Amino acid sequence: MDQSLNTPLREDVRMLGDLLGICLRQQAGDAMFDTVERIRKASVDTRSDAQASLPSLRKLLAPLDDDTLLEVARAFSQFLNLSNIAEQHHRERLHRQHLRYPGDPGTDQGLSDVLSRLADHDVPQEQLAATLRDLSVELVLTAHPTEVTRRTLIRKYDQMADLLSELDRPDLNEDERQFRTDRLRRLILAAWTTDEIRRERPTPVDEAKWGFATIEQSLWYAVPEMLRQLDAQLMARGMTPPPPDWAPVTLASWMGGDRDGNPNVTAEVTREVLHLARWMAADLYLRDVENLLADLSMGDASDELLAATGNSHEPYRVILREVRARLRLTREQMDARVEGAPVPQGQGYRSRDELMAPLAMIDRSLRKVGLADIAEGDLKNTLRRLNCFGITLLRLDIRQESTRHSDAIDAITRYLQMGSYHDWSEAQRQQFLTDELQARRPLIDAAFRASDECTPEVAEVLDTCQVIAEQGAEGLGAYVISMAHAPSDVLAVMLLQKIAGVTHPMRVVPLFETLDDLDGAEATMRALLGIPFYRQRVAAGQEVMIGYSDSAKDAGFLGAAWAQYRAQEALTALFAEHGISLTLFHGRGGSISRGGSPTRAALLSQPPGSVAGRIRVTEQGEVIRFKYGRPAVAVFNLEQYVAATLEASLLPPRKPDPAWREQMEALTATSVEGYRSVVRDEPELVRYLRTVTPETELSRLALGSRPARRKQDAGIGSLRAIPWVFAWTQIRLMLPAWLGTGEALEAALADPQQSARVREMVSEWPFFQGAVDMLEMVLAKADLRVAAWYEERLAGDDRDLMRLGEVLRGRLEACVAALSALTGREDLLDNNPVMRWSIRVRDPYTDPLHLLQAELMARLRQQDGDATLESALMVTIAGIAAGLRNTG
């Protein structure tokens, strides 16, 4: 590792820590500062000296009163947030210098790198140009409850990052440097005096507005800048840039549309979110048009444009004033709809083409009269935004659980006195649904709504379909069916849209997420394609969603990963057989156990042929802020997606050897059995989870609008994948990411033939290599000692829980040993020194938070409702998440 490359990062961390110390002295006093320093130094000692006494750190914390515990937790939490700002800024710094960040080995592969690799492999220019032209990356922003930082603090953190960028300028004199440092100190002071904890749970509309803010503040600028950089890289290689309407990246959202298990997302909420998105889009385009009005003052224009304006010495402004007026009207109309007020009359913009027409005419005119350089400026940015964002800002997906649709169909068949749909066989259901989809008559009349069969739950499903009918196609994306099991699940949603009178039906996307459903995905889709009506309906393309969260919760990390791979292989072959294009929608989360991994590694580990120029991926929770919250970082990550999708399409990984497949079957059989022997069969696991981890306390944190459980019971089965991962992450046991995998690796390495095979797989198969790299990364964040702290403080008198804790820590230790034996590296992340440094430098700051959290959990369970203790506990949860750069 080039140590000098990271010297600026170390200096930034030190400066921010010093400024926080100044604020701490000023606001909490010297005594508090000294207390924090003693704890920090004791924590450093326990990490740097194996002989240092952990009880000495405990002794510093135990006598502190509740108010002091809160301030100490806030100090360490704030430092970790400042460290994150410094590290994120350092990534931006190195990207600007076109240097690879050593903490991201193999991930900084932009389009230029990929084009070089394609040239080395003699990929024909025609094939490259065609793939680029049709490339489609759709990022789906979701509001899964993992973002623990308040928006008001995120804004302050962004301002701090801006100041760090300014302080990098070599031309600053001492006064200018001091001025910026003083501003930085004041921002840190403002952050210190701001409540870190969101006190009210956000509504689905709040979540949607948060997503809109990410577009407004970052992606609105990043998208055209990314395209400019891609154009430049293509031109540098003598290639013709793609056509003007090229939009390789588009955006969709689940915020306000994902109603699976979230009773707070209603038809009315979805309608409001769609209107708010239209309002925001109109407002953003209005800002662009105001800038164009100021700039396009020239008089030379084409005959086409002059025919539209008549005689005018400023013809472009004539057109732009009309555009501005319609955008203002559009914004007013959307505002009225949100407020339930009378909607102003007039022609607001109803489609992308309506807004595109005058702007494209201006572009043609400027190029016609020799002002192409002007057209290449802000106008081109606006046109490219219009290609990406449309007039709806993003496309809203609808997601609902499959039984809600079958319940609605069952209510209809009972109302029609046809019997219970639930009692029918799958064949009977398919026949009924197919017949009704092709029938010309209405299925039900208005009286159904007043019948006993139309329960509130059924009415809500119908109301949602009515919103789809109202809104038109531009603002809507996919209708995703979670827990899809059978062909009838897909046909039912198609029929419900027909009943509502939807003229442009949303594409229906089954989500296969459990192990059984992934294994049965090919059979389900094959049965659907066997229906002539359905095959005709999807002739232009089919989308299928692969679930990562629930499959990992069901089968463990390795078993789920292999099931996902096999399902994609089978589906790719099936749709190739039918000559129908397939888009795979990857429901990834931020954590390793929920499919999170670097972009390039994730795409290049997919089965060959499964990407084929098209990819759809969820971006969840805090990942959205880390990857897209700042324009410079967003440009880099967007380019990563374009480059990796191109590479995976034209240079797909090799097909796995039959021996590798056989080995994976053996590995995953052992892994799934080991995982389920604990998760399903260990009688004390639920008690351990609720006693030793903050799983129960997480419900106090106002993270998102969706309940933590699908059903209100204490079992693991009803617990959502996100809090399941979040709880284990907080105590550094990381159980969902490795449980079962250690036994699988141990068994394989014990057999000489299997041992040679898995070593070959690590070196030659991107899929397996990626799984091993991700396992190593998550195990580097695991900590046996920290997990033992929680057990000792919270379950010390319970022999059954202590026994289970010892078993789990033993399995973790064995997993680390097996991984080390496989990779040949004595220490985790020996191949990733900066990430290892990042984790180790944070440990002395996260350790006190872990000890504090265990102490606070114990006190709060005895003094339920204590506001100070509750606040302090929430701060530790947020602080540990910041320290690990990981939640759920």
758-785: average pLDDT: 91
Over 794-837, what HEC string results? HHCCCHHHHHHHHHHHHHHHHHHHHHHHHHCCCCCCCCCHHHHH
pLDDT in tens, 866-881: 888 888 888 898 888 8
Residue type at position 825: R
Residue 252 parent element (H or E): strand 249-253
- With cut-offs at 50, 70 and 90, classify the pLDDT of residue 106: very low
- With cut-offs at 50, 70 and 90, classify the pLDDT of residue 47: confident
CB atoms within 10 A of CB 751: 12
pLDDT of 52 reads: 58
pLDDT exceeding 90 applies to what percent of the chain? 65
Report d(CA 846, CA 854) in Å as an integer.
12
Report d(CA 12, CA 796) in Å as an integer.
41
265-389 falls under which CATH superfamily? Phosphoenolpyruvate/pyruvate domain (1.20.1440.90)
- With cut-offs at 50, 70 and 90, classify the pLDDT of residue 200: confident
pLDDT in tens, 715-724: 555 566 667 8
Catalytic residues: 144, 553
Residue type at position 272: E
Residue type at position 244: P
pLDDT in tens, 490-502: 999 999 999 999 9
556-567: average pLDDT: 93
Report d(CA 342, CA 333) in Å as an integer.
9
Residue 582 parent element (H or E): strand 582-587
Residue type at position 335: D
Look at residue 529 and tell me whether its pLDDT is greater than 60.
yes
- With cut-offs at 50, 70 and 90, classify the pLDDT of residue 3: low
pLDDT of 601 reads: 81
Closest to 498 (Cα-Cα) out of 444, 545, 573, 448: 444
Report d(CA 254, CA 509) in Å as an integer.
14
Q: Are 469 and 526 in contact (CB under 8 A)?
A: no
Report d(CA 435, CA 531) in Å as an integer.
11
pLDDT of 825 reads: 83
188-204: average pLDDT: 84
- With cut-offs at 50, 70 and 90, classify the pLDDT of residue 32: very high
Helix (H, G, I), strand (E, B) or coil at 509: strand
- With cut-offs at 50, 70 and 90, classify the pLDDT of residue 105: very low
Report d(CA 571, CA 576) in Å as an integer.
8
Look at residue 83 and tell me whether its pLDDT is greater than 60.
yes
Query: 766-781 and 799-823 are packed helices; what angle lies between their axes, rounded to 10 degrees?
Result: 130
Q: Are 481 and 405 in contact (CB under 8 A)?
A: yes
Distances from the Cα of 197 to the Cα of 19, 350, 360, 453, 875, angstroms: 22, 40, 47, 44, 7
- With cut-offs at 50, 70 and 90, classify the pLDDT of residue 50: low
798-822: average pLDDT: 94
- With cut-offs at 50, 70 and 90, classify the pLDDT of residue 597: low
Query: 66-96 and 174-192 are packed helices; what angle lies between their axes, rounded to 10 degrees?
Result: 140
Report d(CA 29, CA 22) in Å as an integer.
10
pLDDT of 883 reads: 84
pLDDT in tens, 6-30: 788 889 989 999 999 999 999 999 9
pLDDT in tens, 154-184: 889 889 999 999 999 999 999 999 999 999 9
Q: What is the mean pLDDT of the chain?
A: 89
Look at residue 595 and tell me whether its pLDDT is greater than 70.
no
pLDDT of 888 reads: 43
More confident residue, 882 or 457: 457
pLDDT in tens, 222-277: 999 999 999 999 999 889 888 989 999 999 999 999 998 889 999 999 999 999 99
Look at residue 420 and tell me whether its pLDDT is greater than 80.
yes
CB atoms within 10 A of CB 251: 23
Cβ neighbors of 677 (< 8 A, separation 6 or more) are: none
pLDDT of 234 reads: 92
858-862: average pLDDT: 88
Report d(CA 36, CA 848) in Å as an integer.
10
Query: 111-120 and 220-236 are packed helices; what angle lies between their axes, rounded to 10 degrees?
Result: 30
Phi, psi of 656 (to 5 degrees): -65, 140
pLDDT of 711 reads: 56
- With cut-offs at 50, 70 and 90, classify the pLDDT of residue 102: very low
pLDDT of 51 reads: 55
Compute the Cα dihedral for 556, 558, 564, 566 and give only its sign: negative
Report d(CA 53, CA 49) in Å as an integer.
9
pLDDT of 146 reads: 45
pLDDT of 592 reads: 47
Q: What is the DSSP string of 434-493?
A: HHHHH-SS-SS-GGGGGSTT--HHHHHHHHHHHHHHHH-STTEEEEEEET--SHHHHHHH
Q: Are 481 and 493 in contact (CB under 8 A)?
A: yes
**pTM of the complete model:** 0.90
Q: Is 559 exposed, middle or buried (0-12, 13-18, 19+ CB in 10 A)?
A: buried
pLDDT in tens, 664-702: 999 999 999 999 999 989 999 999 999 999 988 887 665
Report d(CA 28, CA 21) in Å as an integer.
10
Residues forming CATH 1.20.1440.90 domain(s) in the chain: 265-389
pLDDT of 44 reads: 82
What's 686's DSSP letter?
A: H
pLDDT of 1 reads: 40
141-153: average pLDDT: 68
- With cut-offs at 50, 70 and 90, classify the pLDDT of residue 309: very high
